[in-house]
């Protein structure tokens, strides 16, 4: 019983990396891609554009269901449907 309590205390003190969708991100922030969701054609299209797991993505602008992002020095405009398929965590 004591071991379980100690484990719970230690785990609550560990830093938590919150994963969320890019569509929930803030303009000006840089994130690390943790997963690409959606159907296979969507994933393949994103990978072909350079969106890879563990890549860094900067959210430059959010406006009217459109996101302007930068990945590996290239800028892309993506819609909300695509932004919801990209799972990210803070790059810090």
CA distance 83 to 71: 13
pLDDT of residue 50: 95
Q: What is the pTM of this model?
A: 0.77
Map out the domains of the chain as residue ranges.
Answer: 19-90
Question: What integer pLDDT is reported at residue 32 of this predicted model?
Answer: 96
Question: For residue 29, with 0-12 CB atoms within 10 Å meaning exposed, 13-18 middle and 19 or more buried, which class applies?
Answer: middle
CATH class of 19-90: mainly beta
CA dist 20 and 77 (Å) reads 19
| pLDDT tens readout for residues 2-61 | 565 555 555 555 455 578 999 999 999 999 999 999 999 999 999 999 999 999 999 999
DSSP secondary-structure letter at 39?
-
**Using an 8 Å Cβ cutoff, are 33 and 53 in contact?**
yes
CA distance 17 to 2: 27
Question: Which pLDDT score is estimated for 19?
Answer: 83
């Amino acid at each position: 019983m004591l071991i379980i309590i100690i484990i719970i205390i230690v785990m609550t003190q560990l830093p938590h990396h919150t994963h969320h969708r890019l569509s929930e991100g803030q303009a000006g922030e840089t994130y690390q891609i943790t997963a690409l969701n959606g159907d296979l054609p969507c994933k393949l299209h994103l990978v072909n554009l350079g969106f890879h797991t563990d890549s860094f993505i900067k959210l430059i602008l959010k406006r009217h269901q459109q996101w302007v992002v930068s990945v590996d020095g290239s800028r892309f405009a993506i819609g909300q449907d695509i932004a919801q398929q990209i799972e990210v965590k803070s790059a810090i």
